[in-house]
């Protein structure tokens, strides 16, 4: 089949600056004529036409509402009727010779018939597009496919578009449905700032984009290759199994046999909640087919375009069903909770790890994985190259790094900073307080990898107990032992979502201004709580990348206390409406006899100080945060 390429005129649309993880907006914003097209073309232009020509691109995502339209539209009967109505409308307009109405209507009809990214890739001279079946690929799987997959002719991917708004809700009718798109490079990691800045600059000047309007719609529910011929040569769309490459990679990292033994032991029980995100496309294959877990251990594992109406963010607030099943809900279910529970976000790069009636903070999780990786996970058998965490993540990992004499890095929030270290062979394991954990097997955080890492540690610690009479070493045992060895970092995060952006900025400015006089700050601290130690220093976090020397400024406001406690304030880079203020509160307890306190009780003096020092209620009008994790 031969296709033609036409040039469509467009004009810049405001606000297309990619955030921490690409462009994330309300679905209705993405549905504006040319909105997605402008961004995709600006990305192609930033990558440079020479590199786009002949490229192999992965295009897929978490399957949220609008993904199919972005990749290509489903031809449904309702759309058929819209075409019919549109046709008669167009005919009428034509008779009336009303040109402006004509072109407006044309745009509307064009929108309905587009296979946006595939058609634009074809028109830009891309050689082939790889699409996961039904456009489903988790973010870590996209990274794995870019790095690992070889086409039948030996081709390798040059990069990929990931269609997701991660942990933000989706769907056509939900109150806050979001859509998103980001570009990942040939190393499998998110585009660096040098590229995203160029993309943004291009969105401000874009005038036209090429598109292959008549390219037929490909059946993305069937595995196979469709080949076409355009003015620039051959163009293929290959639909492939969403899980194959990823499962193969996981099997090369972990000892599946030992995890299988753990999961089939009557002493162990397991529950995995995909929150109706794309993790569902992997969960059955990995946990049930490969590792022999029960079907009933899977919760919400059917991917849905609206995540079943839920908020697909794996934390104690939003993963309600799992939290209840694990015995952490407000009321007792009367059923004995499983030994291990985990949840994923919409695109399956985040994870939450739970034990029976026990929550593992993400900051502790990465520290515990780092401390146990070498004996428990074959991939790390030769040792760790280094470890890293984002600045607001607790210092639990720092203590492990020091004790194991590992290279350690503190980077700004955002996974791309870890990617640079990994490409340079300086980091093996990393994590963030925002429920992200991962390793250098790919260049994204990886929710299922984190679950397999924990199952490997549990399998390793229970080598002797699974067969004999001895009691199971539980998640809680592992965490408490870790605290007793390394000390405990009591930790909590308060989120104030959808705050007036101007007020949020004022609060941050107020906190920066305060930093000019530490003695003054200490007077205020003592006035609020005399039992909190003195602030020793305060600053705005700035990072110099040790690999490329680039400097990232204004990465969060820090107040560091003499006893090792910290308060950090940051504005979220992933919201799509208003501003989200994040307040991170951390206190270090070295004394093993004091590591067993209730977290909220241990942190309450610092919370008091944080709220009053920042004048949180005064600036935001909020007496309580939206979410506490
Ligand atoms: C995404 C990134 C993470 C980052 C998180 C922060 O999930 O991939 O690396 O930690 O966003 O989000 P925030 O809303 O705090 O900017
Ligand atoms: Zn995510």
Ligand 1 nearest-atom number relative to CA 444: 8
Beta carbon of 166 within 6 Å of any ligand 1 atom = yes
pTM (2 d.p.): 0.91
Collapse the DSSP code of 247 into the 3-class scheme (helix H, G, I; strand E, B; otherwise coil) and give the result.
helix
| Rounded mean pLDDT, 449-468 | 96
Considering the domain architecture, whether residues 234 and 275 belong to the same structural domain is answered as no
Which of 242, 258, 286 terminates a domain? The answer is 242
The mean-pLDDT minimum among 203-217, 275-289, 536-550, 569-583 falls in 569-583
State the ligand closest to the CA atom of 279: 2
Considering the domain architecture, whether residues 496 and 460 belong to the same structural domain is answered as no
Considering the domain architecture, whether residues 250 and 228 belong to the same structural domain is answered as no
Residue 84 covered by a domain: no
Beta carbon of 572 within 6 Å of any ligand 1 atom = yes
Residue minimizing CA distance to atom 13 of ligand 1: 572
* Spatial distance between the Cα atoms of 179 and 184, rounded to a whole number of angstroms: 17
Residue 338 covered by a domain: yes
Q: Please name the residues in contact with 173: beta carbons below 8 A apart, sequence gap of 6 or more.
A: 306
From the candidates 21, 60, 67, 166, which is the catalytic residue? 166
* Spatial distance between the Cα atoms of 604 and 600, rounded to a whole number of angstroms: 6
Residue 419 covered by a domain: yes
Considering the domain architecture, whether residues 555 and 595 belong to the same structural domain is answered as yes
Residue 450 covered by a domain: yes
Distances (CA, A) of 441 to 79, 353, 566: 42, 20, 31
Res. 22: pLDDT tops 80: yes
Residue 1 covered by a domain: no
Beta carbon of 21 within 6 Å of any ligand 1 atom = yes
State the CATH number of the domain containing residue 534: 3.30.310.50
Residue 532 covered by a domain: yes
Residue minimizing CA distance to atom 4 of ligand 1: 414
State the ligand closest to the CA atom of 445: 1
Residue 602 covered by a domain: yes
Can you tell me which residue has the tokens 């006893």?
563
pLDDT of residue 76: 40
Which token pair is 78?
């309702």
State the ligand closest to the CA atom of 413: 1
Into how many domains does the chain fold?
Answer: 3
Distances (CA, A) of 159 to 44, 133, 145, 190, 295: 11, 18, 9, 9, 35
Ligand 1 nearest-atom number relative to CA 413: 10
Considering the domain architecture, whether residues 498 and 604 belong to the same structural domain is answered as yes
Rounded to a whole number, what is the largest CA-CA distance in the chain?
A: 87
76-112 burial: b if 16+ Cβ within 10 Å, else e = eeeeeeeeeebeeebeebeeeeeeeeeeebeeebebe
Is the distance from CB of 134 to CB of 242 less than 8 angstroms? yes
Res. 110: pLDDT tops 80: no
Which of 352, 432, 442, 575 for a ligand 1 pocket mutation test, highest count of atoms within 8 Å of Cβ?
A: 432
Collapse the DSSP code of 540 into the 3-class scheme (helix H, G, I; strand E, B; otherwise coil) and give the result.
strand
pLDDT of residue 530: 87
Could you write out the three-class secondary structure of 212-239? CCCCCCCCCCCCEEEEEEECCEEEEEEE
Neighbours of 7 (CB within 10 A): 11
* Spatial distance between the Cα atoms of 70 and 442, rounded to a whole number of angstroms: 25
150 Cα to the center of ligand 2, angstroms: 25
Beta carbon of 415 within 6 Å of any ligand 1 atom = yes
Beta carbon of 277 within 6 Å of any ligand 1 atom = no
Ligand 1 nearest-atom number relative to CA 570: 15
Is the distance from CB of 168 to CB of 176 less than 8 angstroms? yes
Considering the domain architecture, whether residues 477 and 549 belong to the same structural domain is answered as no
pLDDT tens profile 247-257: 999 999 999 99
Which token pair is 285?
């294959």
579 Cα to the center of ligand 1, angstroms: 14
Considering the domain architecture, whether residues 255 and 398 belong to the same structural domain is answered as yes
pLDDT of residue 106: 38
pLDDT of residue 175: 62
Res. 411: pLDDT tops 50: yes
Res. 87: pLDDT tops 60: no
What is the per-residue DSSP string for 266-329?
TT--EEEE-TTSTTHHHHIIIIIIIT---GGGEES-S--TTGGGS----STTT-HHHHHHTT-S
572 Cα to the center of ligand 1, angstroms: 7
Which of 211, 242, 273 terminates a domain? The answer is 242
| Rounded mean pLDDT, 142-150 | 97
Is the distance from CB of 284 to CB of 299 less than 8 angstroms? no
Those residues whose beta carbon sits under 5 angstroms from the ion ligand 2 are 166, 345, 347, 349-350
Containing structural domain, residue 177: 6-73+114-242
What is the per-residue DSSP string for 562-593?
TTS-EEEEEE-SS-SSSEEEEEEEEEEE--GG
Considering the domain architecture, whether residues 402 and 522 belong to the same structural domain is answered as no
Is the distance from CB of 99 to CB of 385 less than 8 angstroms? no
Beta carbon of 158 within 6 Å of any ligand 1 atom = no
What is the per-residue DSSP string for 383-416?
--S-EEEETTS-THHHHHHHHHT--EEEE-SSTH
Which of 363, 413, 497 for a ligand 1 pocket mutation test, highest count of atoms within 8 Å of Cβ?
A: 413
pLDDT of residue 72: 67
pLDDT of residue 69: 79
Distances (CA, A) of 373 to 395, 448, 552: 18, 16, 31
Ligand 1 nearest-atom number relative to CA 433: 10
Which of 21, 443, 444 for a ligand 1 pocket mutation test, highest count of atoms within 8 Å of Cβ?
A: 21
Res. 291: pLDDT tops 70: yes
Which of 20, 508, 582, 626 for a ligand 1 pocket mutation test, highest count of atoms within 8 Å of Cβ?
A: 20
State the CATH number of the domain containing residue 25: 3.40.120.10
565 is catalytic: no
pLDDT tens profile 311-370: 999 999 999 999 999 999 887 778 899 999 999 999 999 999 999 999 999 999 999 999
Res. 77: pLDDT tops 70: no
pLDDT tens profile 517-537: 999 989 998 999 988 899 999
350 Cα to the center of ligand 1, angstroms: 10
Can you tell me which residue has the tokens 């040039």?
7
Considering the domain architecture, whether residues 355 and 414 belong to the same structural domain is answered as yes
Which of 208, 242, 276 terminates a domain? The answer is 242
* Spatial distance between the Cα atoms of 232 and 576, rounded to a whole number of angstroms: 38
Share above pLDDT 90 across residues of the chain, in percent, rounded to a whole number? 78
Residue minimizing CA distance to atom 15 of ligand 1: 572
Considering the domain architecture, whether residues 219 and 310 belong to the same structural domain is answered as no
Residue 80 covered by a domain: no
Is the distance from CB of 171 to CB of 179 less than 8 angstroms? no
Q: Please name the residues in contact with 40: beta carbons below 8 A apart, sequence gap of 6 or more.
A: 116, 117, 120, 161, 181, 209
């Amino acid at each position: 089949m031969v296709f033609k390429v036409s040039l469509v005129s467009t004009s810049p649309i405001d606000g297309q600056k990619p955030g921490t993880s690409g462009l994330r907006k309300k679905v209705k914003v993405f549905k504006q004529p040319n909105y997605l097209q402008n961004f995709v073309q600006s990305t192609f232009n930033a990558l440079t036409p020479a590199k786009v020509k002949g490229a192999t691109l992965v295009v897929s995502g978490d399957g949220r509402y609008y993904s199919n339209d972005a990749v290509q539209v489903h031809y449904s009967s309702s759309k058929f009727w819209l075409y019919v109505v549109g046709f008669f409308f167009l005919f009428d307009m034509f008779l009336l010779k009303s040109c402006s109405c004509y072109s407006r209507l044309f745009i509307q009809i064009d929108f309905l018939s587009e296979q946006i990214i595939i058609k634009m890739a074809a028109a830009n001279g891309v050689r082939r597009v790889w699409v996961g079946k039904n456009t489903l690929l988790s973010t870590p799987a996209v990274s794995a496919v870019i790095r690992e997959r070889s086409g039948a002719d030996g081709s390798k991917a040059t990069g990929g578009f990931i269609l997701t708004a991660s942990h933000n809700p989706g769907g056509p009718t939900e109150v806050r449905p979001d859509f998103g798109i980001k570009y990942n490079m040939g190393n499998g990691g998110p585009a660096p700032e040098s590229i995203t800045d160029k993309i943004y600059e291009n969105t401000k000047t874009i005038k036209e984009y090429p598109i292959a309007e008549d390219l037929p719609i490909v059946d993305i529910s069937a595995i196979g290759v469709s080949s076409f011929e355009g003015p620039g040569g051959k163009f293929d769309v290959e639909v492939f199994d969403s899980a194959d490459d990823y499962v193969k990679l996981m099997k090369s990292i972990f000892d599946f046999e030992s995890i299988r033994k753990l999961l089939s032991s009557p002493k162990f029980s397991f529950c995995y909640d995909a929150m109706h995100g794309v993790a569902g496309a992997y969960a059955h294959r990995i946990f049930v087919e490969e590792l022999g877990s029960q079907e009933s251990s899977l919760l919400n594992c059917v991917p849905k375009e609206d995540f079943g109406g839920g908020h697909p963010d794996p934390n104690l607030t939003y993963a309600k069903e799992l939290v209840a099943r694990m015995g952490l809900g407000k009321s007792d279910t009367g059923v004995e909770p499983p030994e291990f529970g985990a949840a994923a976000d919409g695109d399956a790069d985040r994870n939450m790890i739970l034990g029976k009636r026990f929550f593992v903070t993400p900051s502790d999780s990465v520290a515990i994985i780092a401390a146990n990786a070498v004996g428990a996970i074959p991939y790390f058998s030769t040792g760790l190259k280094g470890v890293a965490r984002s600045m607001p993540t607790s210092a639990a990992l720092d203590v492990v790094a020091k004790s194991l004499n590992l290279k350690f890095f503190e980077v700004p929030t955002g996974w791309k900073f870890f990617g640079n270290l990994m490409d340079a062979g300086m980091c093996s394991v990393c994590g963030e307080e925002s429920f992200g954990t991962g390793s250098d097997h790919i260049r994204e955080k990886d929710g299922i990898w984190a679950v397999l890492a924990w199952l490997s540690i549990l399998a390793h610690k229970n080598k002797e107990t699974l067969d004999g009479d001895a009691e199971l070493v539980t998640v809680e045992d592992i965490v408490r032992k870790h605290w007793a060895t390394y000390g405990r970092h009591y930790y909590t995060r308060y989120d104030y979502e959808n705050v007036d952006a101007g007020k949020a900025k004022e609060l941050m400015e107020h906190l920066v201004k305060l930093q000019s006089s530490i003695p003054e700050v200490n007077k205020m601290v003592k006035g609020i709580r005399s039992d909190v130690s003195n602030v020793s220093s305060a600053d705005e976090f700035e990072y110099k990348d040790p690999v490329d020397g680039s400097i990232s400024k204004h990465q969060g406001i820090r107040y560091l206390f003499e006893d090792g406690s910290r308060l950090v304030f940051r504005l979220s880079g992933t919201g799509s409406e208003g501003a989200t203020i994040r307040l991170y509160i951390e206190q270090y307890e070295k004394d093993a006899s004091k590591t067993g306190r209730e977290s909220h009780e241990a942190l309450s003096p610092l919370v008091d100080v944080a709220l009053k020092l920042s004048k949180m209620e005064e600036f935001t009008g909020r007496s309580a945060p939206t979410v506490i994790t």
